[in-house]
A and B are shown apart, each in its own frame.
Chain A
Amino acid sequence: MKKFLATLLALVMVLSLVACGGGGDDTKTPDSSTPSTGDTSTPSTGDTTTPDANPAADVKVGVILIGDENEGYSYAHIAGIRGAQQNLGLSDDQIIWYYTIPEDETAYDKCVDLADQGCDVIFTNSYGHQSFAQQAAAEYPDVTFVAMTGDTALASGLPNFKNAFTEIYEARYVSGVVAGMKVKELVEAGSLKDSNFDANGNVKLGYVGAFPFAEVVSGYTAFYLGAKSVYDKVVMDVRFTNSWFDVTGESEAAKALMAGGCVIIGQHADSTGSPTAVQAAYEAGDTVFCVGYNIDMLAAAPDAALTSPTNDWSVYYTYAIETIINGGEIMTNWAEGYDQGAVAITALGPQAAPGTAEAVAAAEAALSDGSLHVFETSKFTVGGQEVTSFLARDTDGDWVNDTDEAVFDGYLHESYFQAAPCFSLEIDGITKLN
């Protein structure tokens, strides 16, 4: 027993050595130490030395992400928040991050935990986090919760629960213009095969969609209309993967679309599965190209990628956090597009048709100044008829829209009554394959 105690004592001494060593020569320690250590650089609410002149120093932001920096969608949000941090001069310890939070009760626990840690505003970035964020919002009325890409804030009636979405369909329309320019070039050069045309002589486009939700439908319809605005004789096939991120599924969907004769494959799914498959087909000698999403796809498809529609979330995050700092209230539904610089397309690929840059610039300018609207009712038909009425919002929770007429002034107002896209019409020329 004595021997044992001696060993124990020795081990305790080793421990204390390690502990002291850690404190002594690790220069990073002060940065990562907990606020309770009394470090003067950390803002604490009771600290009288904190100057009131800079309220930004007091704000605390909580972030709940479905993924981490390895996944394109969450990466874009991380970049957006980092951008806002830079714009507003926030320090690292003013932002608390929770990565890879699933869309289940864990999201609620994290929301509550962040509120409990004194966060003034808490963002969740995935649709499935929404009902958990709403629950936390009901329990913490002094904290603002924002469910990004969500759609129940207005209906919930909670003053501290918000939704935000970019008008990404505008960027998808512009990426459609890029695709249309390419189709036009290919047709004029005579480089398409018979299988690339349908029975009526329309060129076939393809689209890999995640879920058959309005936000996906809105996106691919915008893409299709963008292409059609340049080259009228196009049709489009859509395949769904039923997952936001599925490398294999997206690759298979793209292969199936190419096998069906589709020339350009767009996507609303988060992986590089589709561009990689298109690049492989391109290298095998097929005339196929792709339009990505979120990130520049030139790394995955150096020849086949034309461009990608992308979000600049920093526009929203800067607005939201700044509003909180100034003691204001964030808009319940925020949706901005080209006019605020919240959406864009990435650099054009080397294979983009000549004149594309000019066409893109013209479309972007027209979308910015409001002279062009993506869903102009004269530009598409449903069952051969022009659309005269479409309700934009659901108020009773049955997922069937029942209020807010969106068709007026000659176009369907997307993301007008609420941030999340509402366009769910199946227009002529687009075929859902599954």
Chain B
Amino acid sequence: MSTLERKKDPFIRISKRSEGMSAGKAWGIRVIGLILALIVSAIVIFVIVRMNPMDVYASMWKGAFGTTKRSWITVRDTMTLLCIACALAPAFAMRFWNIGAEGQVLVGGIVTAACMIYFPEMPTALLFLVMIVSSLAAGAIWGLIPGFFKAKWGTNETLFTLMMNYIAIQLTAFFVSLWENRPNSRKVGIINQNSKEGWLPNMFSEGYNNDFGWNVLIVLVIATVVFFYLRETKQGYEISVVGDSENTARYAGIRVSRVYVRTMAISGAICGFAGFLAVSGSSHTISTSTSGGQGFTAIIIAWLSRMNTYIMLVFTLLIVFLDKGATQIASEFNLNEYCSEIITGIILFFVLGAEFFVDYRVKFRGSK
């Protein structure tokens, strides 16, 4: 009836795709988004800095994969970021806004560094066991606190986890000044520089820092476990029910508060483990920049991938690639770093935009 009263249809109508989209079509949209992003960035590059965009793209590629070493560093950073994104997946699947990954990574990093500093004489295998267990525990505690408060008193988890980040940052600053390498320098420097105790070794050769095979193996295992945990297990099912509707979950006999606490402990523990990877597996130092905003970047990745840990790998790689590429352009063409940030921004805009078209149908007036 109402349609009769209206003179015209609206110019654009946006509706959610209720039936979903075939995977092939969805990826088609994403690829188109990426191509559009490259075209728009190319125009921007040409208009602003008068350079051949192809050179700039080639330079970005070189920055990320130009040499074996660079490829490994790109892979290493991808793995740390992917680990954090995987950690967020269970919490987000439960619609629990854990934006405290930053802090959970830091506390994991602090205890890992503490183990490296205080127990360098421990047998290597035991030291690694202690580092891993304590970083998991530290992260779990950091995640469990907001989970518990939410379950018990219904506190707002967004604010709570955010504020836990600040506590973790201050804690890190405290320990950095406790362990500082030179009095008053407020820098820890490289831990166990000579003995290399507690450094995650190479997988394919002797020594350290040549390949990061263990990082890859461990994180891929985590990604697989999280994937199946969310899809195939009873607890994963509980998480998705709680995420859809707390009341439904309660009606179905799920103990919601227990799910909150348990899931946040898991989420925090994996974040803490990412802190272990960052300290023992890549930087061998600790500072407030150990997490370096990755806890927030991981949120975008987790959402873009809809908690699918394998798709996360693709987006993580894209983001790390953009980051490495941006640094390379800045160095190679003597461009201000803001220029490369513009390119990164454009690409992210289109990638996020593509997700909109995957989710929603846009109809123009007159079309069917």
Contacts and interface: CB of A to CB of B under 8 A. Distances in A.
A29 B55 contact: yes
B58 A22 contact: no
Contact of A105 (B284, B331, B337): B284
Interface of B: 32, 35-36, 38-39, 42-43, 46, 50-55, 58-59, 62, 67, 69-70, 73, 181-185, 187, 189-190, 193, 209, 282-285, 287, 289-290, 327, 330-334, 337
A103 interface: yes
A410 B58 CA distance: 62
Interface stretch (A126-134, A282-290, A353-361, A377-385): A126-134
A104 interface: yes
A127 B185 contact: yes
A388 interface: no
Given A104-B289, A116-B70, A132-B190, A33 B331 contact: no
Interface of A: 8, 11-12, 14-15, 18-19, 21-23, 26, 28-29, 32-34, 96-100, 102-106, 108-109, 112-113, 116-117, 127-128, 130-132, 134-135, 139, 211-213, 242, 399
A21 B51 contact: no
Contacts of A8: 32, 35
A131 B189 contact: yes
B54 A19 contact: yes
20 contacts: A11-B35, A11-B36, A12-B35, A12-B39, A15-B42, A15-B53, A18-B43, A19-B42, A21-B46, A32-B55, A97-B331, A99-B330, A105-B283, A112-B69, A128-B189, A131-B193, A132-B189, A139-B209, A212-B184, A242-B184
A51 to B, nearest CB: 26
Contacts of A32: 51, 55, 332-334
B51 A113 contact: no
Contact of A134 (B69, B185, B193, B289): B193
Contact of B190 (A131, A212, A399): A131
Given A8-B35, A34-B58, A116-B70, A22 B283 contact: no
A355 to B, nearest CB: 40
Contacts of A34: 55, 58-59, 62, 332
A22 B183 contact: no
Contact of A399 (B182, B285, B289): B182
Nearest to B38: A15
B70 A113 contact: yes
A124 to B, nearest CB: 13
B46 A104 contact: no
B110 to A, nearest CB: 15
A100 to B, nearest CB: 7
Contacts of B69: 112-113, 116
Contact of B185 (A23, A29, A96, A128): A128
